[in-house]
Structures are given as structure tokens and as C-alpha cells.
Structure 1
Amino acid sequence: MARNLGFNVYVISDATATFDKVGFDGARYPAEEVHKVNLASLHNEFATVTDTETLLKHLSFIRR
């Protein structure tokens, strides 16, 4: 909800992780797929999803 309150929110894709998940129907979802889907759900809706290198470049640019 921070983005809805006007804050710039970043999720660092290569600094987050998850585990394999089992759905309500018993289907197994591998961690990589769960991670990608969750990042896609957050991106441009609740946060900006980026990787560490891109964020550091962005922060470096801001500091100049």
C-alpha cells in the first residue's frame, strides 16, 4: 500500500526468493515460477521491480 500513499517502492528481484509451493489442488509449482509470477504481480501495480545492478545505477545517478 506504500505506493498508493505516494511512496516510491522497489522490490529487488535478485535479493528476494521463495520456495516451491503446493496449490489447493495439490499441483506443485517450482520456486522459480512462483518468484516470477509474484514479481510480475507486484510490478507497476504496487512497486517497481528491478535488479540490484539497475537500482544501484539509478541511485548513483540521483546522487550526482
Structure 2
Amino acid sequence: MAANLGFKPYLISDATATFGRTGDKGKYYSPEEIHEINLVSLNHEFATVMDTATLMGIIESVI
């Protein structure tokens, strides 16, 4: 939603984490699966997803 208000939000993928979960049908989803699925869902829709190294490269190129 921040992008709809004119902001350019970034989500730093390696600065976030989650836990494994069991779905309503009893299937277990690992933390890695949930993390990746959520990053994919958010990327270019609500934020630009990148890792710390990419962000640092952008920052260093500006200063």
C-alpha cells in the first residue's frame, strides 16, 4: 500500500524470517517455503525485494 501513496518501499529478504506452519489440510510448510512464497507475493506488488548486499551496493553507488 505504501507504493500507492507514492513511497518506494524495499523489503530486505535476508533481514526477515518466519516459522514453519501446518496448513488447514495438515500439510507442513517449512520456514524456507513460507519465506520464499511471501517474498514472491510481495515483490513488485507492495515492495521491491532485495538482499542486504544488493541494498548496500545501491547505497554505495549513491554516496
Same fold (TM over 0.5): yes
- Root mean square deviation, CA, Å: 0.8
Cα distance in structure 2, aligned partners of 1:4 and 1:13:
21
Give 1:51 deviation, angstroms: 0.3
% same residue: 54
Amino acid at match of 2:38: N
**Gapped runs of 5+ residues in structure 1?**
none
1:45 equivalent in alignment to 2:45 = yes
Give 1:45 deviation, angstroms: 0.5
**Gapped runs of 5+ residues in structure 2?**
none
TM-score after normalising by structure 2: 0.93
1:6 equivalent in alignment to 2:9 = no
TM-score after normalising by structure 1: 0.92
Q: Give the secondary structure class of the aligned counterpart of 1:18.
A: coil
Cα distance in structure 1, aligned partners of 2:27 and 2:4:
33
